[in-house]
């Protein structure tokens, strides 16, 4: 197998999900492997944070992230799986300790929560001490 254009475009999970929904809803009903792959991929993506994203929020978020000197793939990872902790940012952004200050990491987390509020984990009730 020959790869003609290995990196023609990168798509977010949201874009893939929307495209597959159009394929699934098209008049042509696909049979066999394409239908299975479409179904399984949609089922997976609908259970990820991207199912609650909006194109406007993604665009605004990417604009806000422009000031952090992140490459395209790092931004894509942040959009696909919005981080909720500094540790997650360290795992997504190469050499984040050298490239980002603690304030910048906190600002990125704030941006993620601002544009993707559904990623906030509900505050768990503090455990009660038993006597």
Domains of the chain and CATH, by start: 13-51 (no CATH), 54-118 (1.20.1250.40)
Residue 14 burial (C-beta neighbours within 10 Å; 0-12, 13-18, 19+): buried
Whether 17 and 46 have beta carbons less than 8 Å apart is answered as yes
In this model, does residue 27 exceed pLDDT 80?
no
Per-residue model confidence (pLDDT) at position 130? 52
Per-residue model confidence (pLDDT) at position 26? 74
In this model, does residue 37 exceed pLDDT 50?
yes
Whether 12 and 79 have beta carbons less than 8 Å apart is answered as yes
Q: How confident is the model over 60-109, as pLDDT tens digits?
A: 999 999 989 899 999 999 998 899 999 999 999 999 899 999 999 999 99
Whether 49 and 118 have beta carbons less than 8 Å apart is answered as yes
């Amino acid at each position: 197998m020959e790869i003609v254009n290995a990196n023609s475009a990168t798509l977010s999970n949201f874009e893939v999900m929307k495209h597959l929904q159009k394929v699934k809803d098209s008049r042509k009903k696909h049979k066999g492997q394409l239908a299975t792959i479409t179904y399984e991929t949609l089922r997976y993506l609908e259970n990820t944070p991207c199912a609650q994203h909006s194109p406007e929020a993604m665009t605004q978020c990417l604009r806000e992230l422009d000031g952090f000197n992140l490459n395209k793939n790092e931004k894509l990872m942040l959009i696909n799986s919005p981080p909720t902790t500094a540790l997650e940012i360290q795992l997504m952004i190469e050499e984040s300790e050298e490239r980002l200050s603690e304030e910048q990491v906190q600002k990125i987390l704030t941006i993620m929560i601002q544009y993707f509020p559904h990623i906030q984990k509900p505050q768990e009730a503090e455990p009660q001490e038993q006597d």
